Structure 1
């Protein structure tokens, strides 16, 4: 069956038809999915209730997988991160963020599987960082092209929420020691398409290196608000068995925390990427 992509919004997002990831990816289907990801930035597939091993195998076609330093892992498949509101405080997902930007080689992308959902609520939104960058004025783009910023695990995983028990504190301290703050360009050049996109997010970006504190705070507030404009977004209403596959290098996302006290369980496989390059570095 031919793989096709149904566009969902002007900025990003497409639904994939004609592909079943419960079957091993062929070279042709892998190439089509990869090209679709580059073009649409986030892809959605219905009726893909994968086992943890199938999800891991599908993600591994695109690169080595990341094991999260804090979130729990699936007992049968450590490469699968478990996002379960009965196990963790997931408020850190209810803000705009790019996954795991606190490491030197942030993820290429992620495959997220819906396992258990509330009867309503719990949607996820994605925003295109390339659309956001392109919509800025030329003088602001020129300024941003030469800047860099710090990304810090502790901003979304603070000690007061993730170090409340001896085991949690030990895990937090180990994660913090293994993942000190890292410096990335404020504008990232996509390594495959050459497209520029913002690479800051409310989730992990703490400070613009080249600016004073008040200037950094003001500019980051502007960029966070700008990147979250509705015209850069697509919103997905989950069904059990849905799978989302997004390009983490050029997007950010927001998981709506509007369903408590109902439970939501998602499985995520996270594909490691490369070191971000800025526009001046890429010349």
Structure 2
């Protein structure tokens, strides 16, 4: 589960995904609502999390080992690291158009809650990741050729099921520039 590119100061507003080639079986995408996840938290936990920030780091999902071992691979990874240092975002984000609060942490890029001790952060983040992905906050899309999906990256996470190999799935994607979370 992840929200796209939260390691940027201005994560994408959303994305459009179009199905071009699909496996006969599998390849579904699931989306989870951060708004529903926040609303379902206890009032005490909502209060605790409001005002906290979390570090988002691209290295969490893109460790050096995934880029190869050649010198040019290392140089490309190091440049990407310099271009994308860790950033902080609110743990609870306010949607800029609806004003609704949403949980804004994800297992793909969120590494710690800044205002908590490392031990507290390490205990709380997995709980929040698991909470966000509860079935009651999710939908599952079974792709058909020609389908087009649009999602609001500011208040959702998604998960592409990898259950179709060795078949292939070809998707075309456009990402929409976003703003600074608040």
Normalised to the residue count of structure 2, the TM-score between the two structures is: 0.96
Greater Rg by CA? 1
Tell me, which stretches of 5 or more residues in structure 1 are unaligned?
1-95, 278-283
Between 1:263-272 and 1:217-226, the stretch displaced more is: 263-272
Tell me how far apart the structure 2 counterparts of residues 164 and 239 of structure 1 sit (CA, whole Å): 38
Of 95, 107, 129, the residue aligned with 1:202 is 107
Tell me how far apart the structure 1 counterparts of residues 115 and 148 of structure 2 sit (CA, whole Å): 39
Of 53, 56, 62, the residue aligned with 1:148 is 53
The alpha carbon displacement at 1:167 in A equals 4.1
Tell me how far apart the structure 2 counterparts of residues 230 and 165 of structure 1 sit (CA, whole Å): 42
- Count residues in correspondence: 182
Of 14, 22, 31, the residue aligned with 1:109 is 14
Give the secondary structure class of the aligned counterpart of 2:181: coil
1:160 corresponds to: 65
1:136 corresponds to: 41
The alpha carbon displacement at 1:168 in A equals 3.3
> Does 2:81 align with 1:176?
yes
> Does 2:157 align with 1:214?
no
> Does 2:151 align with 1:246?
yes
Tell me how far apart the structure 2 counterparts of residues 187 and 203 of structure 1 sit (CA, whole Å): 17
Between 1:193-202 and 1:168-177, the stretch displaced more is: 168-177
Tell me how far apart the structure 2 counterparts of residues 259 and 243 of structure 1 sit (CA, whole Å): 20
> Does 2:180 align with 1:275?
yes
Quickly say closer, same or farther: Cα 1:167–1:261, change in 2 above 3 A.
Answer: farther
Taking only aligned residues, the RMSD between alpha carbons, in angstroms, comes to 1.1
The alpha carbon displacement at 1:169 in A equals 2.9
**Structure having greater relative contact order (Cα 8 Å, sep ≥ 6):** 2
Normalised to the residue count of structure 1, the TM-score between the two structures is: 0.63
Tell me how far apart the structure 2 counterparts of residues 122 and 168 of structure 1 sit (CA, whole Å): 29
Tell me how far apart the structure 2 counterparts of residues 156 and 162 of structure 1 sit (CA, whole Å): 11
> Does 2:111 align with 1:187?
no
Tell me how far apart the structure 2 counterparts of residues 171 and 267 of structure 1 sit (CA, whole Å): 25
The alpha carbon displacement at 1:163 in A equals 3.2
The alpha carbon displacement at 1:263 in A equals 1.4
